[in-house]
Amino acid sequence: MNAIDKFASLLTLTREPFPASTKSAIAGSRPDLRVPVRDVALTNGEVVSLYDTSGPYTDAAVEIDVRRGLPDVRAAWIAERGDTESYEGRLRAALDDGAKNEDREAERIAQLRAEAAALQRTPRRARSGANVTQMHYARRGIVTPEMEYVALRENGKREWMAEYLANEERTRRVAGNPMGASIPRIITPEFVRDEVARGRAIIPANINHPEVEPMAIGRNFRVKINANIGNSAVTSSIEEEVEKLVWAIRWGADNVMDLSTGKNIHTTRDWIVRNSPVPIGTVPIYQALEKVGGVAEDLTWPIYRDTLIEQAEQGVDYFTIHAGLRLPFIHLTANRMTGIVSRGGSIMAKWCIAHHQESFLYTHFEDICDIMKAYDVSFSLGDGLRPGSGADANDEAQFAELRTLGELTQVAWKHDVQTMIEGPGHVPMHMIQANMDEQIKTCHEAPFYTLGPLTIDIAPGYDHIASAIGAAMIGWAGTAMLCYVTPKEHLGLPDRDDVKQGIIAYKIAAHAADVAKGHPGARSRDDALSKARFEFRWQDQFNLGLDPDTARDFHDETLPKDASKTAHFCSMCGPKFCSMKITQEVREYAAAKGLAESEALAQGMVGKSAEFKAGGGEIYIPIQPQA
C-alpha cells in the first residue's frame, strides 16, 4: 500500500461522524459565509448544537480527496479585497526537505514531492505597499468576512440554550467570575473587529491558507486549545503526521502546530496546510536549523528569512519566534535547576553565546514584521526562557524575556501585525496568577498562549493531568489559548492515542475555564448532559460528552445489554443504591402526597428548630425511641 493509500485508509476511520450528530451551518450575511456546527439529536427530541473544529471531515456529504486538499472557504474574500497578487514564489530546493544531493533518501523524497505536487498552490502576497492583516483591516474600521465568521462561531446556535440561559439568569448563583475579561452576551462582528483592532484578539489566517475556517484567540472569546504534531528525527512518518491533524481536530483542537524536524518537512507541511481547516502554526527556526545541518552557530538571518518566506507562501498561519530571548538574559539561567527548556530558545541561546552577539531575531524584528504583514502571518512570540521545572518558575530570566515580548508586541502592532504571547511551562498553582498579571501588564492584553502550565514535576506519564490543572486555572485567569501536553511529555513522541488523551484533557481545562469565566452558553452543554443523566437518557449522556465512544465503552464493560441503556441505574451503584433513581421516587412520592404538604411540614420543623435556637442557642437533639 503506498503512502497516500495508507493515509486514506486511516482517514476512513477518522471521518466517521460523531454518534447522533449531523453537520449543520449558521448562515452569515453572504451565501459563501456558512459557519459549521455539530448538531446532536437527543432521544427526547431536543437538539444540542456544538462548536465544531473537525472541518469537512465529519461531514458525510463531503467528498475528501487528500490529493486536492480542502475547499477554499476564504479564496473569494481574499480576492475581493484586491490588495494581494499571485506571484511565482520562492524556488523550491531539495534542502527544504532536508535532502542533500548525495542523500540516500533523495529518491524517496522526490517521489513524495511528486505525490504532493497537486497540493502546491501559486502563492499570493500583499501588493507593494499593502498590508493584508486582519488587524490592519480592523484598525481601518473594516468588518471582514473572517470577523463575521468568528462572531457567528463564538455565539453558536443560541435557540436550544434558551431554557438553560434563562435558568442561569434567574438564579445568578452560578454566574461566572470573568476575572477582568469583558465578555458580551452576544458577540457581534463589530465586537470582533474592535478586539482585533486593539490587539486583544487575533484571527490567525494567512492569505495562503484559504482553506481555514476562521477562529479567534482572545480573552473575551472561548478559550482555545492547540495540539502539537510533528515527526522527529528518530521516529514517525509523514503519513502518520497528516492523519494526526485530522485526528486532532476531530477531538477538538482549535489550532495545530506542525513541529516536524528532520527530513521531508516542507512536503509534510504542504500536506498538512492544504488539508487543514484549522490554523497551522510552526517554529521556523527548526527548519532553518535543518538547513544548516543542525549546527546552531551556522544559522544566519538570510537563511532564517528565506525560511519565513517559504512557510508564509505555504500558508502557515502563525510563527513562533523567540525574539525576546536576548543575549543579556542568557546568564540569568546559569543557576537554574533546568536551564533553558525551549528548543527554539536553546538554539538561539547557543547562537548568541557562540557569536557574542544579540539575537538576529531581535535585531531583525522589523524585517520580520514586513514579511508577516505581506501574508498575514501572526506572531506567536516564543518564551525561550520559560521555566522547565517548578523550581525555576517566575524567575528573572522568564520575566525579563516577557517584558521584552511586551516591547516587541508594540513594534508588531506598529506594523498592524497580529500578535500573541507564549507562556509557561512549569508553574506551581500559587504562582500562576502572577504570570497572568505580569503578562497583561507588560504585553498590553495581547492574547496569552501557555503550555500547561504543569503544576508539579513528579508525574511523568501523566503530565497531561498535572498540566490540565494549571491550564484550567490560567485559562480562567485570562489565557486565550492552551497548548496541550500529552501523557508522553518528557518521555517520547506522542502517538495517536496520546494526542487524543492530551486533547481531551485540554478540552476539559478550556471548558472549565469558560464555565468559570461565565462565557455565555458555555454551561448549557453541561446542563443538557446533567439533565440527560438525571433522566437516565444514557445515549444522550454519552453523545453530549467530549468522547462519546469512551463513555459508551466504559458503560458497556459491565452492562452491555441494550436494555440497560434505558435502565434506571448503572453498575457503579446497582439498582437498589442508585441515588438518582431514589430521588425520582422521592419526587413522585412528594407529588402524589402533594409537595405542598411536604413543604408545609418542613416549614413547620424549620420553625420549631428556630424556636429551639432562640431558646438558648444550643441545638437540641431529641432522643426518641423508635420501632
Ranges within 370-389 binding a second copy (CB under 8 A): 388-389
User: Closest distance between a second copy and the C-beta of residue 358, in Å?
Assistant: 7
> With left for phi above 0 and alpha for psi between -120 and 50, is residue 82 left, alpha or beta?
left
> With left for phi above 0 and alpha for psi between -120 and 50, is residue 174 left, alpha or beta?
alpha
The one among 30, 86, 603, 611 contacting a second copy by CB under 8 A:
603
Half-sphere exposure of 168 (CA within 13 A, CB side): 20
Residue (27 or 586) nearer to a second copy, CB? 586
Residue (76 or 567) nearer to a second copy, CB? 567
The one among 9, 44, 122, 410 contacting a second copy by CB under 8 A:
410
Q: Please state, in angstroms and rounded to a whole number, the distance separating the CA atoms of residues 317 and 372.
A: 10
Contact flag: residue 111 with a second copy (CB under 8 A): no
Kindly give, in sequence order, each residue whose CB lies less than 8 Å from that of residue 318, ignoring residues fewer than 6 positions away.
202, 204, 255, 279, 281, 282, 377, 378, 379, 380, 420
Residue (24 or 598) nearer to a second copy, CB? 598
Do 226 and 257 meet the contact criterion of CB atoms below 8 Å apart? yes
3-state SS class at 25:
strand
Residue 265 one-letter amino acid: I
Contact flag: residue 484 with a second copy (CB under 8 A): no
Ranges within 18-57 binding a second copy (CB under 8 A): none
Contact flag: residue 442 with a second copy (CB under 8 A): no
Task: Using the rule CB under 8 A, give the single segment among 101-109, 118-126, 189-197, 293-301 that binds a second copy.
Answer: 293-301
The one among 300, 437, 441, 566 contacting a second copy by CB under 8 A:
300
Contact flag: residue 431 with a second copy (CB under 8 A): yes
Element spanning 258, H or E: strand 255-258
The one among 44, 571, 594, 611 contacting a second copy by CB under 8 A:
571
**Cell output for 493:** 513522541
DSSP letters, 273-301, are HHT-SS-EEE-HHHHHHHHTTT-GGG--H
Do 123 and 87 meet the contact criterion of CB atoms below 8 Å apart? yes
Do 278 and 52 meet the contact criterion of CB atoms below 8 Å apart? no
Contact flag: residue 250 with a second copy (CB under 8 A): no
Between strands 34-41 and 21-27, the pairing is antiparallel
Q: Supply φ then ψ for residue 256, to 5 degrees.
A: -135, 135
Residue (52 or 146) nearer to a second copy, CB? 52
The one among 120, 337, 438, 568 contacting a second copy by CB under 8 A:
337
Ranges within 164-183 binding a second copy (CB under 8 A): 167, 173-174, 176-177
The b-or-e profile of 475-485 (16+ CB within 10 A means b, else e) is bbbbbbbbbbb
User: Closest distance between a second copy and the C-beta of residue 245, in Å?
Assistant: 18
How many CB atoms lie under 10 A from the CB of residue 233? 12
User: Closest distance between a second copy and the C-beta of residue 381, in Å?
Assistant: 14
The one among 310, 422, 489, 540 contacting a second copy by CB under 8 A:
489
Contact flag: residue 530 with a second copy (CB under 8 A): yes
How many CB atoms lie under 10 A from the CB of residue 461? 12
Task: Using the rule CB under 8 A, give the single segment among 52-60, 113-121, 286-294, 437-445 that binds a second copy.
Answer: 286-294
The one among 6, 79, 457, 568 contacting a second copy by CB under 8 A:
457
The one among 35, 181, 246, 529 contacting a second copy by CB under 8 A:
529
Contact flag: residue 587 with a second copy (CB under 8 A): yes
Kindly give, in sequence order, each residue whose CB lies less than 8 Å from that of residue 303, ignoring residues fewer than 6 positions away.
288, 291, 292
**Cell output for 444:** 498590553
The one among 338, 438, 444, 568 contacting a second copy by CB under 8 A:
338
Q: Please state, in angstroms and rounded to a whole number, the distance separating the CA atoms of residues 300 and 583.
A: 70
**Cell output for 424:** 509557561
Contact flag: residue 100 with a second copy (CB under 8 A): no
Ranges within 58-77 binding a second copy (CB under 8 A): none
Contact flag: residue 586 with a second copy (CB under 8 A): yes
Q: Please state, in angstroms and rounded to a whole number, the distance separating the CA atoms of residues 203 and 377.
A: 10
Contact flag: residue 362 with a second copy (CB under 8 A): yes
Contact flag: residue 79 with a second copy (CB under 8 A): no
Q: Please state, in angstroms and rounded to a whole number, the distance separating the CA atoms of residues 397 and 339.
A: 10
The one among 429, 438, 496, 539 contacting a second copy by CB under 8 A:
429
Percent of the chain as helix, strand, coil, to the nearest 5: 50, 10, 40
Residue (13 or 601) nearer to a second copy, CB? 601
User: Closest distance between a second copy and the C-beta of residue 574, in Å?
Assistant: 4
Residue (117 or 391) nearer to a second copy, CB? 391
User: Closest distance between a second copy and the C-beta of residue 105, in Å?
Assistant: 16
Contact flag: residue 490 with a second copy (CB under 8 A): yes
Q: Please state, in angstroms and rounded to a whole number, the distance separating the CA atoms of residues 322 and 299.
A: 14
Compute how many residues bind a second copy; rule: CB under 8 A. 158
Do 413 and 379 meet the contact criterion of CB atoms below 8 Å apart? no
User: Closest distance between a second copy and the C-beta of residue 616, in Å?
Assistant: 13
The one among 44, 111, 566, 579 contacting a second copy by CB under 8 A:
579
Task: Using the rule CB under 8 A, give the single segment among 181-189, 208-216, 311-319, 429-437 that binds a second copy.
Answer: 429-437
Do 206 and 376 meet the contact criterion of CB atoms below 8 Å apart? yes
Contact flag: residue 590 with a second copy (CB under 8 A): yes
Ranges within 186-245 binding a second copy (CB under 8 A): 232-235
Contact flag: residue 550 with a second copy (CB under 8 A): yes
Element spanning 41, H or E: strand 34-41
User: Closest distance between a second copy and the C-beta of residue 141, in Å?
Assistant: 27
Q: Please state, in angstroms and rounded to a whole number, the distance separating the CA atoms of residues 578 and 569.
A: 6
* Strand partners for 383: none
Alpha helices (runs of H) in 444-489, residue ranges in sequence order: 463-477
Residue (9 or 579) nearer to a second copy, CB? 579
Between strands 419-423 and 378-381, the pairing is parallel
User: Closest distance between a second copy and the C-beta of residue 140, in Å?
Assistant: 24
Q: Please state, in angstroms and rounded to a whole number, the distance separating the CA atoms of residues 193 and 146.
A: 10
The one among 558, 566, 594, 611 contacting a second copy by CB under 8 A:
558
Residue (47 or 493) nearer to a second copy, CB? 493
Contact flag: residue 162 with a second copy (CB under 8 A): no
